[in-house]
Amino acid sequence: MKERMELALSRLAEIKTEKELPGDWQDFFVRGARFLLFLNEILESSGEPDPEWNGRLYEDILPDNYGKSWCNPDAACERLGAEYGPLFACVAAELRSAIRAVYEKETEELLIRMELLLQFYHMTERGFAEEGAAPEYAAYRSVFYDFVSDYFETEYALRCSQLVDPERDFAARIIREADLSDPSYLYRFGEYITDNELKLAEYIASLPQERIDQMADTYTEGYRMGFVNTGKDLGKKLSVNIRYPLGFERIIRKAMDNFEKMGLKNVICSSTGSIFTGRSVLKNGFFGANPNPQFDYDHREDLALILDGQLVSRRLECIEQGFKNVEALAKGHAGPAVVEEFGRAPFVPEDKKTAPRYDEKQRALDVRFRSENVRITYHYIPGEERSFTIIAFPVPAIGERFPEIFDAVVRINTLDYNSYQRMQGCMIDALNDCSFMHIRGCGKNRTELTVALQQPEDKSKQAIFENCVADVNIPVGEIFTTPQLKGTNGLLHVSRVFLNNLEYKDLSLRFTDGMVTEYDCANFDDTEKNRHYVEDNVLFHHKSLPMGEAAIGTNTLAYVMAGKFGIASLLPILIAEKTGPHFAVGDTCYSHAEDVPQYNPDGKEIFARDNECSIRRKTDPAAAYFGCHTDVTIPYDELGLIEGIRADGSSIRIIENGRFVLPGTEELNKAFDEE
């Protein structure tokens, strides 16, 4: 590797000064060479990172510069033509994926991307020297295909190890060793750092230790209770995967201590984005600011440039081998503990014609990959033995009232669950006598939906709905069930909603026997664009998905808080789903753990864990799961009615005109008095 690196560095240095190619072609390679050489400087550096590096690393894709960036498929197509542009923009984006690698001293990650650029350069140089033109597009595509296929094994071996191996302690060491009173430690992670992250770290550093302990304890105790409430043995687990946004390190440090007292070692890995692991606006690991969500959106389907059945098979083989390499560690992994952030400006993507997009065949291949990937992951990290927890906090980008909002969210996250448990129990008891749940919107909301409820064999010992308080899903406040698909019919509509950091206007999903049969939104003027937007980002390339969850959110305090501060559109799904009824498309809430008995606080077993899709796991596992679960919430102010329908046709009303009317739940309306 040392010899390969020396050769690559020498050749990249020469490219910086050469003028062998026509202007735009030469510019692509010169800029790529300069960027990779700068990354090597960082790799070889010792001591503390220079904050100035942060600007240099990310300036190319910042919104003000992205219009001319080689990473922008529009710009690349304009300069190199519609045929070459998308692939060369993809290569430019792939070079950027080495940023995190150099901070973590993963030399080979940088080297293979250097060699990719050099291979493209030598092909181009030879083409212009011999033919007076660039090689055929197919030649570049073939080289890129081989690059991806060859290095899938290396990349997934690394990623699987990062997910479960506590010895990969790059981030954990920073959190343990840094002076967290000085926010400059944030530059050590290699992520994009803005005033938002610096101000957040400063704010967290200013809080008294009791508040830090309270937040960390709520987070880790929720994780522990997730195992207790589902009867899973945490004692035989070895590690927990912590995922969080930079700036919360003081809370994470305390959480690490708490987890270690439970007998768990901490695994904290970066949120990757590359041709191998995919790109997404939604980050999954430790992460700083997103320099430009449009960049991630443009490149989210770059694999479309080369994807075929052989590549999917190769990818799945390498994921399986990656987990086999760390099989004992994977078996002992307890699952993720997630801190989410909210408050950044909403992102409304531009749908570019130049950006790679899967065709129909590739969409089917992607669906196959997602399903098999989930199956492999749950085989090595058994779903019936793992758990999780998620908690969310605002960040300073939310506005001048950030400290007030932060305090309000801490209050919501630490609510006493006993009263909610009692009131939610009243709803569960009422709906346990019902065959259907009927939901109707009001005002501009067009929802008219009937959800079929599964019928317990023994209602004295079994419940249809789970009484969800505050363990894995913080904050407190919902009851949920797995609907029976047959008989679940109607329209789910919401005027505006944010899902996985993307905005949807007038999102509508129509269900027939529990399956999505029609879908639309009003983000674009073009109907087909709207359908593709929903299919890509809500259905995840499936033509249809089942309703995997039907729930009633009860956290009226969170709803009122959002209205008071004008931040309803900024709430993450985690909190938003507690502020009204919500319905998820995709897998059930019990995915891969349906056979594990679950009980409500009153001792009744939760009956509705499977549906007509998930039950196929016993005969056809590939058809049972979809690898996604997306909640769509109707806010109380768009809700006309929720009622349970008994077998004899009589009904019992739960919510009417946005207020709880079921006897025993009236206390939930008190929060509305704070409006």
* DSSP result, 472-521: SBSS--EEEE--EEEEEEEEEEEEEEEETTEEEEEEEEEEETTEEEEEE-
Residue-level pLDDT at 516:
98
The answer to whether residues 69 and 176 belong to one domain is no
User: Where among 385, 405, 432 does a domain terminate?
Assistant: 385
Mean pLDDT computed over 531-554: 95
List, as own/partner pairs, every contact residues 433-437 make where C-beta atoms lie below 8 angstroms and the sequence separation is at least 24, other chains included: 433/459, 433/644, 433/646, 433/652, 434/644, 434/645, 434/646, 434/652, 435/645, 435/646, 435/647, 436/487, 436/644, 436/645, 437/550, 437/642, 437/643, 437/644, 437/645
Average predicted confidence (pLDDT) for the chain: 95
* Percent of the chain residues past pLDDT 90, beyond the cut: 86
Q: Which residues contact 511 (CB under 8 A, 6 or more apart)?
A: 449, 488, 489, 490, 491, 492, 517, 547
The answer to whether residue 547 is domain-embedded is: yes
* Confidence bin at 195 (pLDDT 50/70/90): very high
Residue-level pLDDT at 551:
97
Handedness of CA 137, 140, 144, 150 (dihedral sign): positive
Mean pLDDT computed over 2-22: 93
In the chain, the number of structural domains is: 3
* Confidence bin at 622 (pLDDT 50/70/90): confident
DSSP string, 42-78: HHH--SSPPHHHHHHHHGGGSHHHHTT-TTSHHHHHH
Mean pLDDT computed over 138-165: 97
As a whole number of angstroms, the distance between CA 569 and CA 496 comes to 8
Among 345-354, 543-552, 634-643, 650-659, the least confident range: 345-354
Provide the 10 A C-beta neighbour count for residue 203.
Answer: 17
Residue-level pLDDT at 620:
87
Containing domain of residue 481, as a range?
A: 415-674
- The yes-or-no verdict on residue 621 having pLDDT over 90 is no
Q: Which residue from 431, 364, 9, 405 is spatially nearest to 203, judged by alpha carbons? A: 405
* Percent of the chain residues past pLDDT 70, beyond the cut: 100
The answer to whether residue 394 is domain-embedded is: no
The answer to whether residue 130 is domain-embedded is: yes
The answer to whether residues 130 and 191 belong to one domain is no
Q: Is 557 left (phi over 0), alpha (psi -120 to 50) or beta?
A: alpha
Q: Over the stretch 324-363, which tens digit does the pLDDT of each residue have?
A: 999 999 999 999 999 999 999 888 899 899 999 999 999 9
Q: Over the stretch 454-465, which tens digit does the pLDDT of each residue have?
A: 999 899 999 999
Q: Over the stretch 27-73, which tens digit does the pLDDT of each residue have?
A: 999 999 999 999 999 999 988 899 999 999 999 999 999 999 999 99
The answer to whether residues 244 and 128 belong to one domain is no
Among 485-489, 498-502, 662-666, the least confident range: 498-502
The answer to whether residues 422 and 345 belong to one domain is no
Residue-level pLDDT at 346:
83
User: Where among 114, 135, 156 does a domain terminate?
Assistant: 135
The answer to whether residues 438 and 378 belong to one domain is no
The answer to whether residue 550 is domain-embedded is: yes
The answer to whether residue 207 is domain-embedded is: yes
* Confidence bin at 507 (pLDDT 50/70/90): very high
Residue-level pLDDT at 434:
97
Q: Over the stretch 81-132, which tens digit does the pLDDT of each residue have?
A: 999 999 999 999 999 999 999 999 999 999 999 999 999 999 999 999 999 9
Mean pLDDT computed over 361-377: 93
Angle, alpha carbons 432-435-439 (nearest 5°): 95
The answer to whether residues 220 and 322 belong to one domain is yes
Q: Which residue from 538, 530, 494 is spatially nearest to 628, judged by alpha carbons? A: 538
Q: Over the stretch 216-258, which tens digit does the pLDDT of each residue have?
A: 999 999 999 989 888 899 999 999 999 999 999 999 999 999 9
* Confidence bin at 436 (pLDDT 50/70/90): very high
Residue-level pLDDT at 593:
85
The answer to whether residues 425 and 375 belong to one domain is no
- The yes-or-no verdict on residue 272 having pLDDT over 90 is no
The answer to whether residues 447 and 590 belong to one domain is yes
As a whole number of angstroms, the distance between CA 277 and CA 92 comes to 16
Q: What is the CA radius of gyration of the chain?
A: 26
User: Where among 135, 161, 182 does a domain terminate?
Assistant: 135
The answer to whether residues 119 and 175 belong to one domain is no
Residue-level pLDDT at 471:
73
The answer to whether residue 600 is domain-embedded is: yes
- The yes-or-no verdict on residue 675 having pLDDT over 70 is no
The answer to whether residues 180 and 287 belong to one domain is yes
The answer to whether residue 366 is domain-embedded is: yes
The answer to whether residues 177 and 115 belong to one domain is no
Task: Tell me the HSE value of 617 on the side-chain side, using a 13 A CA sphere.
Answer: 21
The answer to whether residues 123 and 176 belong to one domain is no
The answer to whether residue 33 is domain-embedded is: yes
